Amino acid sequence: MISSEKTTIADTSNQKENSAAPVSIIGKQQVVVENGKYTPEILWAMGRIGDYAASPDLKQIVYSIAYFSVKENKEHVVLHLMNQDGTNDVLLTETAYNESSPVWIKDGSKIAYLSDASGCSQIWEMNPDGTERKQLSFFEKDIDSFKFAPDGQHILFIAQVEYIFKPENLYQDLDKTTGLMANDLMYKHWDKWLKTVPHPFYAAFDGDKMQEATDILKGTRFESPLLPFGGIEQLNWSNDSKSIAYTCKKKAGKEYTLSTDSDIYVYDIATQQEVNICKLAGDPDQNMGYDMNPTYSPCGKYMAWLSMEHDGYESDKNRLYVMDLETKKKTYLTKDFDSDVNEICWDSTTAKIYYTAVWHGRTMVYQITLDGEVTQITEGDYDFEGLVMMGSKILVKRHSLVQADDLFCIDLENNLGITQLTHENDHIFNQLKLGKTKARWTKTVDGKELMSWVMYPSNFDPNKKYPAVLMCMGGPQAPCSQLWLYRWNYSVLVEQGEYIMILPNRRGCPGFGQEWKAEISKDYGGLCMHDYFAAIDDLATESYVDKDRLGCIGASFGGYSTYWMAGHHEKRFKVFAAHDGIFHQEAMYVETDEMWFVNWDLGGAYWEKDNEAAQRSYANSPHHFVDKWDTPILCIHNDMDYRILVSQGQSAFDAARLRGIEAEHLCFTDECHWVNKPQNSILWYRVMIDWLKKYLNV
């Protein structure tokens, strides 16, 4: 069980700006684990490490942690400070406000951060010991994220501007209407109607207060960073503090929803003129897909960024490009590396770039020279992310399928030694019994090798028989790596049901070459489904697996997979559970938000009768095979999911019940494609766990 959450009285000496400051603080929870059993409640008691930054003298690290209260159903973000070796870790912020996104400013004498202490999210500063807190920005709206210029005299920040005009702007007497009007596509995206989009602003900073701000995209409906997941990493200051490089797709409405062609623009703050460096005149290499995350080299001579080749293919190979800013020569640096580059950071000497990439189910850190020579510098069954250079070291987050994030330091000079700096959830994990994970390779129907992760419960005994669950990945071009998730935590499901779980890297998953990843597009019901069957059939040959107690679950494309398998499994499975899955592909085509996705992955519109690829896709829509459904199914979907609308899950549930099949439908009216709120998440876990136990633990 979880002990009562810590509640203290906030120190109001640092809250004079708001005399009505809240006093309830959500902090680190003390947890007692009964019998070492992993539960959803324990998952939500964990602290979650967020942003971090090393001081200019490399002696200290400031970082954020998010804590959650299930009772209050909300989040609280605090800041911590520690020495560069992880010692002397102290809590800096002890108010009930959310304080996040820490960076070092003024040569390391101050820490800047975001705080909602003034009623909206603004930039503040404090001493490294947490004293003398002071508000620096007084912008009229929330500031989402920010970066100080290298010379400290300007601030770049992200804030929302109006996108959709509300009817009351047209009809002044209808001031209480909730209607929203659209006259073009891309009126909704991911989890919201696009009432606003993010714009980049910059403002002078005199060392005491941020001055009047300039909107780089003023008067446009363009966005920067790109929705729904882009952040401040998509924008950067030049080394001389005179220019801003930013990511933008200068399209709106129907044109926007059909294209992934974003570019890098370099904006001169003195002249307010800009240059698109991805499409320079006379350049034969016109990048037509996503270009994003511009990063200047320490010497200022080069810019690196991530680039995709094809317009409309959001899961194209993510390539590392470098430009000589003087000659404008571009180099495709990872041409011989057959996987995606996730994130990048420059070595302090400009001789190398470090990046993360997934290969064979593990996200590792790699080093590449400007000549294209690649070296893998980490190993093990882990995922690494969040590269921050710290002199001759790299600060990273590391996690696995059974271990939450902590901060680690990679020593580039001493045999690539790795030191753990934080132990945020040791007090919980030291009480938990967790199983092991192993890689398993299976021969596919076309003679290729399929790699899966197999998770075993902590009580695993090879002399006993266990139910087994096939986990179908989303994406569909998402890696099945050593990922740690809170919304779908596989360890919780494995431990609660005492299952063997298999997570196949079927066709479409990156980390096995671009050919493997591309084979899923326009072939949803093809080889990727055979890969799933091959994986579960192979696992079922083990003596410790009860082949008469197999289950199949998945979300998003994994939900599609679950619905599709329900009509093709030939009695393999005893139970199905689908979350936010595609059920009716024709409806999905005209319901979804990003048309480039369905155009590329499905091949086009269902009314294109001469389009062979598209017609093959729609012929494999799960709704065509409901007549073969014969197994209990749980259908979960959310009202605010605008990628795959709630009608998909409800249609699947209705079809199952009309066919006389046992089914349940769980719907969250205030969640998107994911379930993020604490109490909703715990309900999700309880329903999922109970459903699987009902049919597998018999």
Positions annotated as catalytic residues are: 556, 641, 673
Angle at CA 293, nearest 5°, toward 292 and 296? Answer: 125
Angle at 471 between CA 468 and CA 477, to 5 degrees: 155
Q: Which among 89, 128, 130, 122 is positioned nearest to 105, based on CA atoms?
A: 128
Alpha carbons 576 and 552: distance in angstroms, whole number: 5
- Report which secondary-structure segment, H or E, holds 390: strand 383-390
Partner residues linked to 248 by β-bridges: 263
Residues 6+ apart with CB under 8 A from 579: 488, 553, 554, 555, 556, 558, 559, 636, 637
471 CB contacts (<8 Å, ≥6 apart)?
490, 501, 502, 503, 553, 554, 558
State the Cα–Cα distance between residues 467 and 484, nearest whole angstrom: 23
Supply the DSSP string of 115-147, one letter for each residue.
Answer: E-TTSS-EEEEE-TTS-S-EE----SS---EEE
Task: In whole angstroms, give the CA distance from residue 391 to residue 411.
Answer: 9
Q: What are phi and psi of 612, to 5 degrees?
A: -60, -45
* CA torsion angle 319 325 330 333 (round to 10): -40
| CA 247 – CA 200 distance, rounded (Å) | 10
Cα 68 to Cα 81: distance, rounded to the nearest angstrom: 20
| DSSP-assigned letter for residue 2 | B
Tally of CB atoms within 10 A around 676: 16
Q: In whole angstroms, what is the distance from residue 569 CA to residue 575 CA?
A: 11
Q: Answer for the pair 689, 696: CB distance below 8 angstroms, yes or no.
A: no
Contacts with 232 (C-beta within 8 Å, 6 or more apart), sequence order: 145, 146, 147, 156, 158, 225
Buried b vs exposed e over 543-554: b needs ≥16 C-beta within 10 Å? eebbeebbbbbb
Give the C-alpha separation, 531 to 451, whole Å. 10
Phi, psi of 625 (to 5 degrees): -115, 15
Residue 536: strand, helix, or coil? helix
Whether the link from the prior residue into 228 is cis, omega within 30° of 0, is yes
Only one residue has tokens 């989303």, namely: 474
Q: How far apart are CA 64 and CA 53, in angstroms?
A: 10
What separation in angstroms does the CA of 489 have from each of 35, 43, 555, 676?
19, 8, 12, 13
| Closest listed residue to residue 407, CA positions, set 436, 379, 386 | 386
Beta strands in 249-328 (DSSP E): 263-268, 274-276, 291-296, 302-307, 319-324
Q: What does the block give as tokens for 575?
A: 């139970």
Listed in sequence order, the residues at least 6 apart from 497 whose beta carbon sits closer than 8 Å to its beta carbon are: 467, 469, 689, 692, 693, 696, 697
C-alpha–C-alpha distance, residues 650 and 652, integer Å: 5
DSSP assignment string, 280-296: -TT-S----S-EEEEEE
Counting Cβ atoms within 10 Å, is residue 271 exposed (0-12), middle (13-18) or buried (19+)?
exposed
